[in-house]
């Protein structure tokens, strides 16, 4: 678990630290803020288009091999980022780094499943969620600390010694898994990359281009057309790259839908609250960072407990309760007065984190355990894809709200987030009567 945790920590941190460093990078590389955004987008795009193919590759050659290769590529990409002296070079290095992060993220859930026995899987998932939450909470602080004592290149250089140490640890400790033996489907991998890439670029066009509505519509229409071809192709395969076989399992499909809606709500809040704190409440950057902290801290405190409870209590109950609390917390954030003090803000943010933490670990456990062990890679890849899809959707909705209702965007986004959390709660509750095909899973797990 230490080997798994170090890898996911680096991949999560490098998304957060780049966001904080963008102004500094733009200034020192003599580029515009709009162009510097591609330092973040290149990393995310590389992950989005390759997650499911890498998860499928893990089923064929082994999850530990994909993880170790991802660590090596991520470490080399980090070194390339630290040595970059122009924006094009940095963006290219971030693509390489993103491909390495995909190798880590795509098999993260599968490795956790092969590390813990079924009766303790909730604990493992809860610990994994705790690590992700701590990394997300510490990212801005770590980035600020490094930038206070050194250049922005150090943000990426620190990954090199950690990556080397983790590679050696992973080589000794990561579990072996059974191999599927099926051939890797390159055609489906290319179609998958085109589909998710066009969706991501179309969403970015909608959110950031004032006159790009027609272009965005064309990009998304092409993505839908490619996706239709891909799904038809995949339904004929026994172990599809797009896990349409798993999506036929009701509890799996509902867990994916719940994850997408909840992460969209999460991203809406995390994008708009800093603007609200700085513009409406007139807090400085340090105060804003501190006011954002109660949410991930609450997630980190609750996630291990929720993971343990999920070994005994259905995720439908825990997840629905947590999402109801999240919807309540987001709604309460819209009632903040203009003279709100730190306590007024902190307990509302902590309430959101409490609800999100009680949802996340049980939902992840259910999603992973509802798939046969031979499809653990596909389930783990779908878990990460659902998270990124939700975050991308939330970011797009937030950007649209800022364009359409600039003077009330914060409240609009928070209310949309509360609505999405409520929809996720309904999907979560619908899992209560849903059952995974346990007989098939048991046969698979015993060979």
Please tell me the predicted confidence (pLDDT) of residue 331: 93
Cβ neighbours of residue 315 closer than 8 Å, sequence gap 6 or more: 255, 362, 363, 365, 366, 428, 431
Say how far apart CA 68 and CA 343 lie, in whole Å. Answer: 44
Q: Roughly how many angstroms between the first and final C-alpha of the chain, as a whole number?
A: 25
CA nearest neighbour of 170 among 65, 324, 304 = 65
CATH topology of domain 1-183: Growth Hormone; Chain: A; (1.20.1250)
Please tell me the predicted confidence (pLDDT) of residue 436: 45
Say how far apart CA 20 and CA 406 lie, in whole Å. Answer: 23
The sign one gets for the Cα dihedral 141, 143, 148, 150 is: positive
Q: What letter does residue 173 receive in the DSSP assignment?
A: H
Q: What letter does residue 276 receive in the DSSP assignment?
A: I
Say how far apart CA 379 and CA 369 lie, in whole Å. Answer: 9
Cβ neighbours of residue 387 closer than 8 Å, sequence gap 6 or more: 259, 263
CA nearest neighbour of 365 among 117, 72, 2 = 117
Please tell me the predicted confidence (pLDDT) of residue 437: 46
Say how far apart CA 319 and CA 322 lie, in whole Å. Answer: 5
Please tell me the predicted confidence (pLDDT) of residue 79: 95
Please tell me the predicted confidence (pLDDT) of residue 339: 82
Task: At 318, list the tokens.
Answer: 């825990």
231: left (phi > 0), else alpha (psi -120 to 50), else beta?
Answer: alpha
Say if residues 102 and 50 touch (Cβ distance below 8 Å).
yes
Please tell me the predicted confidence (pLDDT) of residue 212: 59
CATH topology of domain 242-447: Growth Hormone; Chain: A; (1.20.1250)
Say how far apart CA 239 and CA 179 lie, in whole Å. Answer: 12
Per-residue pLDDT tens listing for the chain (447 residues): 999 999 988 888 887 677 667 777 888 888 776 677 778 778 888 888 888 888 888 888 888 999 999 999 999 999 999 999 888 999 999 999 999 999 998 888 888 888 888 788 777 877 877 787 677 767 767 777 787 788 888 889 989 999 999 999 999 999 887 776 677 778 888 888 888 888 878 877 765 555 556 787 888 889 899 988 888 888 877 777 788 888 888 888 888 999 899 988 988 887 778 777 877 788 776 677 778 888 888 887 887 888 788 878 888 888 899 999 999 999 999 888 888 888 888 999 999 989 988 888 888 888 888 888 777 778 878 888 888 888 778 877 877 777 777 677 778 888 999 999 999 999 888 887 655 444 344 344 433
The sign one gets for the Cα dihedral 85, 86, 92, 98 is: positive
Q: Over the Cα atoms of the chain, what is R_g?
A: 21
Q: How many CA atoms lie within 13 A of 108 on its CB side?
A: 33
């Amino acid at each position: 678990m230490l080997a798994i945790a170090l890898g996911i920590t680096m991949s999560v941190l490098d998304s957060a630290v780049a966001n904080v460093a963008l102004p500094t990078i733009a200034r020192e590389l003599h580029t515009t803020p709009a162009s510097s955004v591609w330092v973040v987008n290149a990393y995310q795009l590389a992950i989005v288009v390759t997650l499911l193919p890498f998860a499928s590759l893990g089923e064929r050659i082994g999850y530990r091999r994909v993880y170790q290769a991802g660590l090596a590529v991520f470490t080399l990409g980090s070194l390339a980022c630290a040595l970059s002296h122009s924006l094009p070079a940095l963006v290219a290095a971030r693509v390489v780094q993103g491909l390495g992060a995909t190798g880590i993220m795509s098999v993260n859930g599968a490795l956790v499943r092969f590390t813990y026995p079924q009766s303790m899987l909730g604990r493992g998932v809860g610990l994994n969620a705790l690590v992700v939450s701590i990394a997300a909470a510490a990212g801005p602080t770590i980035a600020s600390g490094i930038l206070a004592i050194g250049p922005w290149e150090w943000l990426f250089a620190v990954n090199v010694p950690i990556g080397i140490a983790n590679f050696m640890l992973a080589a000794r400790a990561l579990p072996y898994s059974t191999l599927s033996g099926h051939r890797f489907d390159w055609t489906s991998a290319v179609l998958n990359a085109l589909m998710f890439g066009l969706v991501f670029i179309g969403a970015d066009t909608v959110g950031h281009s004032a006159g790009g509505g027609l272009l965005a519509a064309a990009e998304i229409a092409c993505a839908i057309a490619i996706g239709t071809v891909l799904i038809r192709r995949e339904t004929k395969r026994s172990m599809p790259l797009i896990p349409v076989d798993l999506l036929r399992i009701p509890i799996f499909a509902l867990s994916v839908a719940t994850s997408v809606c909840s992460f969209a709500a999460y991203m809406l809040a995390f994008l708009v609250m800093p603007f609200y704190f700085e513009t409406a409440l007139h807090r400085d950057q340090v105060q804003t960072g501190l006011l954002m902290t109660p949410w991930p801290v609450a997630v980190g405190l609750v996630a291990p407990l929720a993971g343990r409870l999920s070994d005994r209590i259905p995720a439908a109950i825990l997840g629905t309760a947590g999402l109801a609390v999240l919807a309540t917390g987001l709604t309460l954030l819209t009632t903040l007065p203009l003279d709100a003090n730190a306590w007024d803000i902190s307990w509302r943010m902590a309430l959101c984190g409490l609800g999100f933490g009680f949802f996340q670990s049980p939902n992840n456990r259910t999603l992973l355990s509802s798939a046969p062990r031979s499809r653990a890679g596909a389930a783990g890849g779908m878990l990460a894809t659902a998270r990124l899809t939700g975050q991308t959707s939330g970011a797009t909705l937030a950007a649209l709200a800022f364009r359409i209702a600039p003077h009330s965007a914060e409240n609009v986004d928070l209310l949309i987030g509360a609505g999405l959390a409520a929809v996720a709660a309904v999907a979560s509750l619908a899992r209560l009567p849903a059952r995974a095909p346990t007989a098939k899973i048991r046969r698979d797990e015993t060979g």
